[in-house]
Chains A and B, each alone.
Chain A
Amino acid sequence: MARYITIDNTSPAVPLAEIPDEHYGAVYDDLADRLAQERYHMAHYFAREEGDRLRFYAILLDDSSRKIMITSFAMGYHDEGPLPSLTALRPAMHPFERDITERYGVRFDAMPWDKPLRLPFDRRDRRASVGNYPFYTIEGDSLHEVNVGPIHAGIIEPGAFRFICNGETVLHLEIALGYQHRGLERQFTAADNRLRQAVLAETAAGDTAAANATAFAEAVEKLAGHTPPEGLVRERAAALELERMAMHIADTGALSMDVGYQLGQVACEALRTMTINTTQAWCGNRFAKGLIRPFGTNKPLTAEKTDMIRRNVAEIVRRYDEVRHDIKSSPTLLARYEQCGVVPRSEMLRIGGVGMAARASGVERDIRTSHPSGIFSRQIAHESIVKRHGDVMARLMMRCREVLQSAGYIDRILASHRPDTSAPRPDYVRPLAPDALAVGLVEAWRGELCHVAVTNAAGRIADYRIKDPSIHNWLALALAVRGEGISDFPICNKSFNLSYCGHDL
């Protein structure tokens, strides 16, 4: 058994000195055991340089007790050989171990998928590049390969997809990313400018700006030992759920477009416009950039804005529900969506899928239920929506249901909201606890976001790590298309709509 320090998602930052210093062997045995149980999954697992040692941090979530368990171990560069790979036993660990290998050159013994993750500029192996990614190959006269990307047909972010097909059928898809790597995590420490850091968090994935900004704000507030006041927490939750609505509606439209269901497409385009224009009328930006800031807000809700949001949200869900009804009563649509791109529950668990995609496969991973913070630890007891089939239809219906649920939450949150003229303003200079680690955990529309901030002795952010849910779920997409016709790839892809820049950071 390894020792952990145990906190929950509302606890203040943890002093680094209180995080147990274990041996790898103990951590390895313990994690191998725990990660085999459904109640546990890894929120983040990363290494950072600490003097001449490399210290690994494991941030483990226990879904059944709401606990966050943190432990660490250190290794020198020369005095230890390769570490036995956890990925070999628990495939869900693959992005974490790949990241550590890529950044620090640590080798994991028997690592089954020892490949670049995002090819960061500070990677150890300078010979590895986006141009020579070691794609998996299968020999055979009847097989052919299809290469897509990094630039795709539409206006979307870049990534390289390599299909191995037997006729029209996909045998294997491998997704190589890294094209979007901007060195974002390293920018957090380039200047001790809290505003700049907040803006960086927003751009970690621009379609998830509210959730990322919330995770940043929560991490920083925990480092200051500060609990945000009720009104602020409500407004953040409203912004988060508006973002969820906007993106789920956008994806409903995208899934409509790809099966030639033009009515659904244009209806959802218009409804998404309404949703993001609501956000814009609140804060001046359609993606909620500038809305969420640590310790306070520049955009407190007024009575008029509260009414405007409630009115718009009610109209949006009324119309969106008509689209949902139309989808469910159109056999031609159901024929495309149902039983397409299935990821069975067992696979989803094995690869560590999170968020709405996991819930569509019957795996209830939802930070709002398992590790609530903000409004979900105070006013709203969230009940996750879970579906069983794990197909495109399940992921689509998941979106439909979640839009309705989020709209309900927004209405509830704002119904009891008393506009507060004395709402606190953001604070960009408040001192942070020195030598401490704080975790911001938020259920974004794709799934769990985990931000980790580590401060140095002067209370400056010395390391900042972001885990986007996409880092787990890209593999789910690869599994979803196995055995499908390659022509079904677009709807499978859109049913996940994963983040490239969130993955590449």
Chain B
Amino acid sequence: MILPKIKVLRSHGRQYIPDLTEVTLTDEFRGRPELTATDDMSDVEAAAAMCPTAAITTAPFTLDLGRCLFCGECALRAPRNIRFTNDYRIGSASREALVVRAGDTAVDFRHDCVRTEIPRLFGHALKLRQVSAGGDASNEMELNATGNVNFDFGRYGVEFTASPRHADGVVITGPVTCNMAAALEMCYDAVPDPKIVIACGADACSGGLFAASRAVDRSFFERHRVDLWLPGAPAHPMVFIEGVMNLTGRWRRREAEK
């Protein structure tokens, strides 16, 4: 029957985000943290001690977004020193750039670390094969959401493929479990050259909560270069979209103020 469909359609209206460059997330969203050093660093020490992934160091004062789960507890423990903004521009081509220092006002994308062929080859279309290797399903659902009716990342030609043979790269979620290590390697091998690797979420970037687990095998990251590091637990769809657009040279994040 057609009438109920018309009703659904009318209520649905237009859902897509017209301009992805203009997206601002809710103030509640925990994105890029800002750090302020104070004379008395005892709060930071307490926050560092409670941080579930040991993402905080006190001397020098840093917070590693590659480990951070954005639980926000450190900011509550050390409100003078740590504050989370809703800035989702936190991916980078460099793992080191994910380490936020006191006074930083942006995460440096490090365009200089991007291999030159990436924007040239993948600047118009990029097909990716996703491999979950111990992901908890939240990162996976967020990656699915990048292609949904709201974000519609397909408008830029970025899509996920069913076969690694059709892909230009792999997106890894999860800390890489021992039981998935071989399958991940096979999938990577099956992607034709030249190819890229994206580590999506704290688990993939650093092992996250499982960095020291004996059930995890991170040797993949010793063998293969990662082209894009995306923090989050999970990484918000906008973290992924903004990161990939910068990687492929179509957007350019403002440079970090030195």
Chain A residues proximal to chain B, CB less than 8 Å: 119-122, 129-131, 150-151, 153-158, 178-184, 186-187, 190, 193, 195-196, 199-200, 203-207, 209, 250, 263-264, 266-267, 269-270, 273, 277, 280-287, 289-290, 298, 318-319, 322-323, 325-326, 329-330, 428, 499-501, 504
Name the one of A157, A182, A204, A250 contacting B175, with C-beta atoms under 8 angstroms.
Answer: A182
Interface segment among B36-44, B100-108, B180-188: the answer is: B180-188
CA distance A496 to B46 in the complex (A): 43
- Separation of A26 and B75 alpha carbons in the complex (Å): 53
What residue of chain B has the Cβ atom nearest to residue A318's Cβ?
B11
| A to B CB contacts below 8 Å, 8 in the list | A121-B213, A180-B135, A180-B177, A183-B214, A206-B135, A286-B142, A319-B8, A329-B1
Q: Contact at A158–B133, with CB atoms within 8 Å? A: yes
B137 to A285, Cβ gap below 8 A?
Answer: no
Which B residues are in CB contact (< 8 Å) with A428? 50
Q: Which interface residue of A121, A182, A184, A277 has the most chain B CB atoms within 10 A?
A: A182
Residues from chain A with Cβ under 8 Å of B162 in the complex: 153-154
Check A156–B148 contact: CB distance below 8 A. Answer: no
Q: Would you give the 0/1 interface string for B138-166, flagging 1 where the beta carbon is closer than 8 Å to chain A?
A: 11111111001110000000001011000
7 tightest A-B contacts by CB? Answer: A206-B138, A206-B136, A183-B215, A196-B52, A153-B162, A326-B4, A121-B215
Q: Is B122 an interface residue (CB 8 A)?
A: no
What's the nearest-Cβ distance from chain B to residue A427, in Å?
12
How far apart are A468's CB and chain B's nearest CB, in angstroms?
A: 11
**A269 neighbours in B (Cβ, 8 Å):** 15, 145, 148-150
Contact call A207/B137, Cβ cutoff below 8 A: yes
CB contact between B70 and one of A179, A209, A264, A285 (< 8 Å): that residue: A285
Residues of B within 8 A of A277 (CB): 26
Known: A280-B28, A287-B234, A326-B5. A183 touches B137 (CB 8 A): no
- Residues of chain B from 17 to 73 with CB closer than 8 A to chain A in the complex: 25-26, 28-30, 50, 52-53, 69-73
A49–B149 Cα distance when bound, in Å, is: 51
Given A263-B9, A286-B142, A289-B233: A322 and B4 interface contact (C-beta under 8 Å):
yes
- Which residue of chain B has its CB nearest to the CB of A331? B1
User: Chain A residues with Cβ under 8 A from B132's Cβ?
Assistant: 155-158, 180
Which residues of chain B have C-beta atoms less than 8 A from A281's C-beta? 26, 28
Complex CA–CA separation, A501 to B141 (angstroms): 14
Residues of chain A within 8 A of B150, CB atoms compared: 269-270, 273
| Given the contacts A120-B215, A151-B183, A200-B209, A284 and B30 also touching, CB distance less than 8 Å | yes
Q: Which of B84, B139, B182, B213 contacts A131 (CB 8 A)?
A: B182
The answer to whether A193 touches B137 (Cβ under 8 A) is no
What residues on B are CB-neighbors of A184 within 8 Å?
Answer: 210
Residues of B within 8 A of A250 (CB): 141
Q: Which of A154, A284, A323, A326 contacts B28 (CB 8 A)?
A: A284
CA distance in complex: A130, B180 (Å):
9
Q: Give the CA-CA distance A385 to B248 in the complex, in Å.
A: 50
A396 to chain B, nearest CB (A): 16
Please give, as numbers and ranges, the residues of chain B lying within 8 Å of A129 by CB-CB distance.
179
Known: A193-B50, A318-B11, A322-B4. A151 touches B131 (CB 8 A): yes
B134 close to A263 (CB less than 8 A): no
Q: Is the CB of A273 within 8 A of B148?
A: yes
- Determine if B29 and A284 form an interchain contact, defined as CB atoms under 8 angstroms apart: yes
- In the bound complex, do residue A283 and residue B183 qualify as a contact, i.e. CB atoms below 8 Å apart? no
Do B143 and A155 touch (CB < 8 A)? yes
Evaluate contact between A283 and B214: CB separation under 8 angstroms: no
A280, chain B: closest CB distance, angstroms: 6
Chain A residues within an 8 Å CB radius of B71? 195, 199, 289-290
B214 & A329 in contact (Cβ 8 Å cutoff): no
Q: How far is the CA of A425 from the CA of B142 in the complex (A)?
A: 29
Q: Is B118 among interface residues, defined by CB-CB distance under 8 A?
A: no
Please give, as numbers and ranges, the residues of chain A lying within 8 Å of B12 by CB-CB distance.
263, 266-267, 270, 319
Contacts of B236 in A (CB 8 A): 286
Interface check B120, CB cutoff 8 A? no
A180 touching B134, Cβ below 8 Å: yes
Instruction: Identify B140's interface contact among A122, A155, A183, CB under 8 A.
Output: A155
Complex Cα gap A122–B71 (Å)? 29
In this complex, what residue of B is CB-closest to A155?
B130
Residues of A within 8 A of B73 (CB): 195, 290, 298
Whole-angstrom distance between the alpha carbons of A225 and B15 in the complex?
Answer: 48
Are A181 and B177 within 8 A (Cβ)? yes
- CA of A283 to CA of B27 in the docked complex: distance in angstroms? 10
The answer for the CA separation of A250 and B236 in the assembled complex, in Å, is: 17
Q: Say yes or no: A285 contacts B30, CB within 8 Å.
A: yes
Please, how many angstroms separate the alpha-carbon atoms of A203 and B141 in the complex?
Answer: 14
* New A-B contacts (11) at CB < 8 Å, excluding given A263-B8, A282-B28, A290-B73: A180-B180, A186-B215, A187-B210, A199-B209, A206-B136, A270-B149, A273-B145, A284-B29, A285-B70, A330-B1, A330-B4
Bound together, the chains give a CA A273 to CA B23 distance in angstroms of: 15
Does B7 sit within 8 A of A, measured CB to CB?
yes
CB pair B136–A322 under 8 Å, yes or no, is no
